[in-house]
């Protein structure tokens, strides 16, 4: 026994726990935790004391005070008499809107360009290369400004609005879409559609079980789609199409009414999507190239169609390589959306860490909240992608 080597047996007994690596480890951890906590508490107290000495307001009470300014795009109810707390929600939803749409569009475009770079068609592959090399090597902020000012120059002024079919109006003040107006009875249509979705999921599960058991292929996707669309359509028509549209009409300065997609939003989405897609394309290309050639040859030898080779053999294996770096790109896109402030899009950084910070001047509180939000969004995205990654991971049989 190691502890009998030094000192008398009594001494060894009473201090034995000190030499136990496990106990010592725990003690060190506790000491470190206390140290870090003391560091933060000291900073917190010191900051509070100094802010107080400088007569700068502190605390989170400002969230209940009236904001007094207007915001160009609000997804949640807001007017200038709302509070700073509501400004936060407006900014957060605007940021999430850009992040979610941007991630979807960038993924689609990135996959297409990544596949294009691997195309056997010389022209298509070269176009993909040119796209990736140009877009990913120009700073995003410059691209955003370029898109924004290009849009303002190219799109017509409101008095010469471009009128597209379906009542869509295009001006340099935004793209105006007809706004759907909820009429009584539309709820029944939605409920039917929801029931259809549930049915489609059930069919999918049944089809998979059947395939595993018997090897028989069922076109579950088309059955499911029919189940969602058909009954909903029948109910919709039976109730006499219970929906109407509010069309944008020319006003004194702008088009009035309808749903407006602001040029700031369009430019931001264009910039973020095109930029991130270039990186995603490279990730997709590397992922697909990482799948051994033998896999494709074996699949072809089994008589699978080239498309089936891609869909059933190559892409599932490539996904294992693609997903982790893809998560990084999603996080980057979300964080890059804070560049919105340069082109006047009211995202969280612009309205909350910008206007609210400036009006209340509570920099510490506002920046802490904002950093916390980005951290939470990023951790949530990472969590979802890790779960997806675990699902897609190669199952060894």
- Cβ atoms of residues 352 and 88 within 8 Å: yes
- CA separation for the pair 320, 286 (Å, rounded): 11
Site string for other proteins, 14-33 (x = CB under 8 A): ------------------x-
User: Using CB atoms within 10 A of its CB, is residue 169 exposed (0-12), middle (13-18) or buried (19+)?
Assistant: buried
Among 91, 235, 264, 319, binds other proteins (CB under 8 A): 264
CB atoms within 10 A of CB 235: 18
Among 16, 38, 134, 371, binds other proteins (CB under 8 A): 371
Which helix (H) or strand (E) element contains residue 255? strand 255-256
Give the nearest distance from C-beta 43 to other proteins in angstroms: 5
Q: Residue with structure tokens 């899009």?
A: 345
Is residue 297 close enough to count as binding other proteins by CB under 8 A? no
Is residue 59 close enough to count as binding other proteins by CB under 8 A? no
Is residue 68 close enough to count as binding other proteins by CB under 8 A? yes
Residue 235 exposure: Cα atoms within 13 Å on the Cβ side: 19
- Cβ atoms of residues 180 and 174 within 8 Å: no
Among 94, 334, 355, 370, binds other proteins (CB under 8 A): 355
- Cβ atoms of residues 296 and 314 within 8 Å: yes
Among 16, 34, 43, 100, binds other proteins (CB under 8 A): 43
Residues 133-152 touching other proteins, rule: CB under 8 A, are 145, 148-149, 152
Give the nearest distance from C-beta 363 to other proteins in angstroms: 5
Is residue 71 close enough to count as binding other proteins by CB under 8 A? yes
Among 102, 131, 132, 173, binds other proteins (CB under 8 A): 173
Tokens of 152: 């303002």
Among 11, 20, 70, 297, binds other proteins (CB under 8 A): 70
Is the CB of 6 or the CB of 55 nearer to other proteins?
Answer: 55
Would residue 70 be called left, alpha or beta, if left means φ above 0 and alpha means ψ between -120 and 50 degrees? Answer: beta
Give the nearest distance from C-beta 149 to other proteins in angstroms: 6
- Cβ atoms of residues 365 and 292 within 8 Å: no
Is residue 347 close enough to count as binding other proteins by CB under 8 A? no
Question: How far from 82 is each of 57, 61, 76, 167, CA to CA, in Å?
Answer: 20, 14, 11, 33
Give the nearest distance from C-beta 46 to other proteins in angstroms: 4
Question: Chain centroid to CA 295: how far?
Answer: 33
CB atoms within 10 A of CB 20: 12
Is residue 341 close enough to count as binding other proteins by CB under 8 A? yes
Could you tell me which stretch among 49-57, 102-110, 275-283, 310-318 binds other proteins (CB under 8 A)?
A: 49-57
Give the nearest distance from C-beta 92 to other proteins in angstroms: 17
- CA separation for the pair 91, 85 (Å, rounded): 10
Residues that bind other proteins (rule: CB under 8 A) add up to a total of 54
Rounded to 5°, angle at Cα 19 from 18 and 25? 75
Give the nearest distance from C-beta 155 to other proteins in angstroms: 9
- CA separation for the pair 378, 373 (Å, rounded): 8
Is residue 334 close enough to count as binding other proteins by CB under 8 A? no
Is residue 74 close enough to count as binding other proteins by CB under 8 A? no
CB atoms within 10 A of CB 35: 10
Could you tell me which stretch among 135-143, 207-215, 230-238, 253-261 binds other proteins (CB under 8 A)?
A: 253-261
Q: Which residues bind other proteins (CB under 8 A)?
A: 32, 36, 39-40, 43-44, 46-47, 50-51, 53-57, 68-72, 80-81, 145, 148-149, 152-153, 157, 172-173, 251-254, 256, 263-264, 341-344, 346, 350, 354-355, 357-361, 363-364, 367, 371
């Amino acid at each position: 026994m190691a502890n009998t080597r030094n000192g008398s047996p009594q001494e060894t007994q009473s201090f034995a726990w000190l030499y136990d690596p496990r106990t010592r480890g725990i003690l060190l951890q506790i000491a470190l935790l206390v140290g870090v906590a003391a560091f933060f508490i000291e900073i917190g107290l010191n900051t509070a004391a100094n802010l107080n000495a400088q007569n700068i307001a502190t605390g989170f009470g400002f969230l209940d005070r009236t904001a007094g300014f207007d915001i160009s795009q609000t997804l949640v109810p807001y007017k200038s008499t709302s509070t700073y707390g509501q400004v936060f929600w407006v900014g957060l939803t605007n940021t999430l809107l850009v992040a979610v749409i941007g991630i979807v569009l960038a993924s689609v475009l990135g996959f297409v360009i990544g596949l294009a770079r691997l195309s056997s068609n010389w022209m298509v592959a070269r176009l993909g290369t040119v796209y990736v090399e140009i877009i990913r090597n120009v700073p995003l902020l410059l691209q955003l400004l370029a898109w924004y000012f290009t849009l303002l120059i190219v799109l017509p002024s409101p008095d010469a609005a471009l009128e597209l079919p379906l009542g869509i109006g295009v001006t340099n003040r935004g793209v105006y879409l007809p706004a759907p107006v909820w009429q009584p009875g539309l709820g029944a249509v939605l409920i039917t559609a929801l029931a259809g979705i549930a049915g489609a999921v059930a069919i999918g599960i049944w089809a998979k079980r059947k395939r595993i058991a018997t090897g028989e292929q069922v076109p579950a996707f088309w059955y499911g789609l029919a189940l969602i669309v058909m009954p909903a359509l029948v109910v919709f028509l039976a109730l006499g199409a219970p929906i109407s549209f509010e069309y944008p009409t020319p006003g004194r300065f702008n088009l009035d009414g309808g749903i407006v997609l602001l040029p700031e939003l369009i430019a931001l989405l264009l910039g973020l999507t095109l930029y991130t897609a270039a990186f995603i394309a490279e990730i997709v290309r590397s992922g697909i190239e990482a799948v051994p050639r033998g896999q494709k040859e074996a699949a072809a030898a089994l008589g699978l169609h080239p498309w089936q080779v891609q869909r059933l053999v190559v892409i599932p294996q490539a996904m294992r390589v693609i997903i982790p770096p893809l998560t990084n790109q999603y996080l980057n896109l979300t964080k890059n959306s804070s560049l919105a402030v340069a082109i006047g899009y009211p995202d969280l950084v612009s309205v909350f860490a910008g206007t609210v910070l400036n009006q209340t001047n509570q920099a510490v509180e506002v920046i802490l909240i904002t950093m916390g939000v980005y951290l939470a969004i990023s951790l949530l995205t990472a969590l979802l992608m890790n779960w997806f990654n675990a699902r897609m991971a190669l199952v060894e049989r």
